[in-house]
Amino acid sequence: MTWATPMLAALVAAIAIPALIILYFLKLRRIPREVSSTLLWKKAIQDLQANAPFQRLRKNLLLFLQLIILGLIILALAQPRSASTTEMGRKYIVMIDRSASMAAVDGEDELGKDSRLEAAKKQAIELIETMRAPGMFAANEKADEAMVIAFDANAQIIASFSSDQATLINAINAIEQTDATSSIAEAYRLAQAQRPNRIANAVNELGEITESHELDELKGGEPYFFHLFSDGRVSDIDSVRAEEIDTQTTFEYHAIGSQTSNNIGLVALRSERDYDTPSKLSIFVGVQSTDTIPRTVDAELIVAGVTRSVRAINLPAATTDATTGYKTPASGGVVFELTEPEGVIVRVKLDTDGQNNPEADVLLTDNEGVLVVPPAKQASVALVSTGNLFVGSALQGLPLSRFDTISPAKYESNRESGANDVYDLVIFDGYLPKPNELDDTASILDPGRYLVIGQALTGKLGVIDQGTGPGGPIIDWRRTHPILRDLTLDALLMAETPKVEIRKGSGVVSLAETASGPAILETSDGDVRAILVPFAITKTNWPFDVSFVVFLASTVDYLATGSIVAIDQDERQITPGRVLSDRLPPDATGVRVIMPDGSRSEEIIPSADGRVVFGPITNAGIYRLRWRGTAAPTDIVDDGTNYRTFAANLLNPAESNVSTQKTIALANQIVTAESNTERQRIKDWWPWFLGIALVILMFEWWVYNKKMYL
């Protein structure tokens, strides 16, 4: 038991208790009256004899009751509270993971099973209820405060710092589940941004101000005590640094869920059209299982709302680490083959019996995936070249609907007239377009799809060109990327390697690396998508290797025909947590985005060039843009209204691996959930003392009135 205001209670006791006793010593001044007999006044005189000063106090029930009442009131003034494990005035950062894996139904509750998010919210509310409230009679005492942050791929402050427990609890209850992946870096930055006296820069030995991401120790203000409620499936948890105060860490991890939970889910889904016969469509399905016994699940292929095929997928047993208890998932897959020349919406559903048996599959979000497959087509390609024969010769052997080789001057002339719009893909070989003379910050690439060879694209969508380095091979490349997965670059040798640097925060992604840096890159901004090859192929042996032709063919398919559709590789495929971004015709009006369940839609105001942005997307499913005006060839037109479809899918192996992490590795320490200090709820007892005092006061009043009646 602790006391919030003991000094105030002691002061009141020192004054009130003696004053009460003195009242019983006071002698009342009465007017003498003559009466015929004192017999009826005997009892009254006995009660009043105690009021005579300097006489021994007699046993008096009223005095005893009044002392008890006064004592209870004094105890209430001292504000007794249950013992607490924390000091006054702490600032808590309550971080609640709302990502896809938190939808797993292995969170325990009184009635059986609950989702992990609901279990996390309940535990967070229990933490809030342990917060120390401000003293009622001591305004200078600091109360505990908490800020609530919900995070998935993005982060949101649900409640700013407050000591109002009701406000914080309501904010926690309002957190909703999403289907996005989990990332804590933004949530951590949001929390640190609230700290006062935050030092954002450091000064080096030369007196120059430099930015640093290792300045967490330099931030001023009071320490923050972080409480993470999650299953530990956070990819960038090492971006968090915990401070230590008097050997006590400022970071506590509350593990939600079970290490032994089983889940089966889709982790890969893509479509690809046959290169020679584009009407032949292949749907590749990848499935992951964390069950420790072999499983067989059915994958159902639904095309345009009609079931076209059901295939069984045999999954081996997942393995479990004997030391840590963590599971290594098993994987399997299937390929559906069909003939479909038109653009279609393809769904793949897994039958895991999770609805009837949650123990076999605790997460249902990853049991379905959707692809928006464009119609079959052959690409129209333009080669803008200064005379390199290798690229043109390789392209002439590809099945293209149109192939033109044009000079740089002709390209610039067509650019002014808009004649270049007929090409699905433009390849720049040793040449880059002229920059915009009126806006030097604009991209030199017009909206479209491009392959840039032999030049380092700089500026808004490009890289920082630092010249060339010594010759060497490709040392690594992204083997899962659509343009690189069907080839090997081990034989590629360069006489000189490009030295380019990707600007921080840009949309450029490295696809292949040399010892000097990136050698093949991809860049995009919604209107432009380009593959960049900044080295001169004439100074390599690549044109003489079959991988060069395969690279060109895959790039044409990827950029121009849309025959390869993979999540995060196409603007119609969205990962929850990211934004829906597209460009509509300039005359588009009444633009709205329709949610996956079709129950509601939201209005979007296009920019002057027709660009629309919505999001971030929080849930998986099919989103549709609806507008009136001009429609593109692949849009659906229904009674004058145009529709464009987008698919959002989870498809994340880390989120589908629902085995809860009991230990997480921060940037500077290892945190284990079991090592957390058990908390007690801080309970104020003064209302109970006042309530008991009121009951006794009523009893005292009854006794007093009964005596007076007698």
150-154, 387-391, 506-510, 699-703: range with highest mean pLDDT: 150-154
Structure confidence by residue, pLDDT tens digits, 520-547: 999 987 678 899 999 999 999 999 999 9
Structure confidence by residue, pLDDT tens digits, 316-361: 999 988 777 778 899 999 999 999 998 899 999 999 886 677 778 8
Strands (E), 542-683: 564-566, 573-574, 580-583, 589-594, 601-603, 611-614, 621-628, 636-638, 641-648, 663-665, 670-672
Question: Which phi and psi angles does 674 have, rounded to 5°?
Answer: -70, -15
Taking each continuous run of H as one helix and of E as one strand, the counts in the chain are 11, 43
Q: Is the pLDDT of residue 46 over 60?
A: no
Report the SS3 class of residue 561: helix
Distance CA 9, CA 123 (A): 35
Q: Could you tell me if 551 and 505 are in contact, meaning their C-beta atoms sit under 8 angstroms apart?
A: no
The fold of 91-258+660-675 is Rossmann fold (3.40.50)
Percentage of residues in the chain having pLDDT higher than 70: 80
Same fold, 91-258+660-675 and 380-561: yes
The pLDDT assigned to 39 comes to: 64
Q: Classify the C-alpha dihedral 172-178-183-186 as positive or negative.
A: negative
The pLDDT assigned to 81 comes to: 64
Distance CA 172, CA 634 (A): 43
Mean pLDDT score across all residues of the chain: 82
Distance CA 528, CA 530 (A): 7
The fold of 269-376 is Immunoglobulin-like (2.60.40)
**238 CB neighbour count, 10 Å cutoff:** 14
Strands (E), 474-600: 476-477, 493-501, 509-514, 517-524, 528-533, 564-566, 573-574, 580-583, 589-594
Distance CA 299, CA 284 (A): 11
Could you give the residue ranges of the DSSP H alpha helices within 402-500? Answer: 408-417
Question: Which phi and psi angles does 546 have, rounded to 5°?
Answer: -65, -25
From residue 227, alpha-carbon distances to 46, 117, 148 in Å are 67, 15, 10
Report the SS3 class of residue 116: helix
Q: Is the pLDDT of residue 375 over 80?
A: yes
The pLDDT assigned to 200 comes to: 42
Residue reference for tokens 């109360």:
143
Angle made by CA atoms 691, 692, 697, in degrees to the nearest 5: 100
User: Which among 355, 284, 320, 470 is positioned nearest to 105, based on CA atoms?
Assistant: 355
Structure confidence by residue, pLDDT tens digits, 208-264: 444 444 444 444 557 888 999 999 989 899 888 887 765 566 889 999 988 888 999
Structure confidence by residue, pLDDT tens digits, 633-643: 778 888 889 99
The pLDDT assigned to 5 comes to: 67
Q: Is the pLDDT of residue 111 over 80?
A: no
Report the SS3 class of residue 384: strand
User: Which among 179, 176, 172 is positioned nearest to 158, based on CA atoms?
Assistant: 172
The pLDDT assigned to 528 comes to: 85
CA-based end-to-end distance of the chain? 44
Q: Is the pLDDT of residue 205 over 50?
A: no
Angle made by CA atoms 521, 524, 527, in degrees to the nearest 5: 150
Q: Which residues, listed in sequence order, are joined to residue 399 by a DSSP beta bridge?
A: none
Question: Which phi and psi angles does 565 have, rounded to 5°?
Answer: -120, 115
Distance CA 411, CA 386 (A): 12
User: In CATH terms, is domain 380-561 a member of 3.30.70.20?
Assistant: no
Give the mean pLDDT of 552-575: 74
**710 CB neighbour count, 10 Å cutoff:** 7
Give the mean pLDDT of 444-449: 87
Angle formed by the axes of helices 61-77 and 6-25, nearest 10°: 160
The pLDDT assigned to 131 comes to: 84
Report the SS3 class of residue 606: coil
The pLDDT assigned to 48 comes to: 52
Could you give the residue ranges of the DSSP H alpha helices within 503-586? Answer: 546-556
Q: Which residues, listed in sequence order, are joined to residue 107 by a DSSP beta bridge?
A: 114
450-454, 694-698, 705-709: range with highest mean pLDDT: 450-454
Task: Kindly give, in sequence order, each residue whose CB lies less than 8 Å from that of residue 236, ignoring residues fewer than 6 positions away.
Answer: 183, 184, 185
Give the pTM: 0.70
Q: Is the pLDDT of residue 118 over 80?
A: yes
Q: Could you tell me if 77 and 83 are in contact, meaning their C-beta atoms sit under 8 angstroms apart?
A: no
52-56, 118-122, 554-558: range with highest mean pLDDT: 118-122
CA 209 to chain centre: 32
Q: pLDDT category, 144, cuts 50, 70, 90?
A: confident
Measured in residues, the chain has a length of: 710
Distance CA 645, CA 630 (A): 16
User: Which among 58, 72, 69 is positioned nearest to 20, based on CA atoms?
Assistant: 69
The pLDDT assigned to 218 comes to: 40
Structure confidence by residue, pLDDT tens digits, 216-229: 444 455 788 899 99
Peptide bond into 616 cis (omega under 30): yes
The pLDDT assigned to 656 comes to: 92
72-86, 536-550, 602-616, 689-703: range with highest mean pLDDT: 536-550
From residue 302, alpha-carbon distances to 144, 348, 501, 537, 616 in Å are 54, 6, 44, 44, 27
The pLDDT assigned to 389 comes to: 83
Q: Classify the C-alpha dihedral 177-183-186-192 as positive or negative.
A: positive
Angle formed by the axes of helices 116-129 and 165-173, nearest 10°: 180
The pLDDT assigned to 203 comes to: 43
The pLDDT assigned to 114 comes to: 85
CA 677 to chain centre: 27
- Structural domain spans, the chain: 2-81+685-709, 91-258+660-675, 269-376, 380-561, 577-648
And the tokens for 417? Answer: 């007239």
The pLDDT assigned to 63 comes to: 67
Distance CA 430, CA 453 (A): 6
For residue 559, the 8-state DSSP code is: I
Structure confidence by residue, pLDDT tens digits, 146-188: 999 999 999 999 999 998 999 999 999 999 999 999 999 999 9
Distance CA 454, CA 386 (A): 11
And the tokens for 192? Answer: 């640190």
Distance CA 282, CA 38 (A): 116
| Pick among 4.10.240, 2.40.30, 2.60.40, 3.30.70: CATH of 577-648 | 2.60.40
The pLDDT assigned to 210 comes to: 46
Q: Classify the C-alpha dihedral 552-558-563-567 as positive or negative.
A: positive
**526 CB neighbour count, 10 Å cutoff:** 15
The pLDDT assigned to 583 comes to: 80
Structure confidence by residue, pLDDT tens digits, 286-306: 999 999 899 999 999 999 899
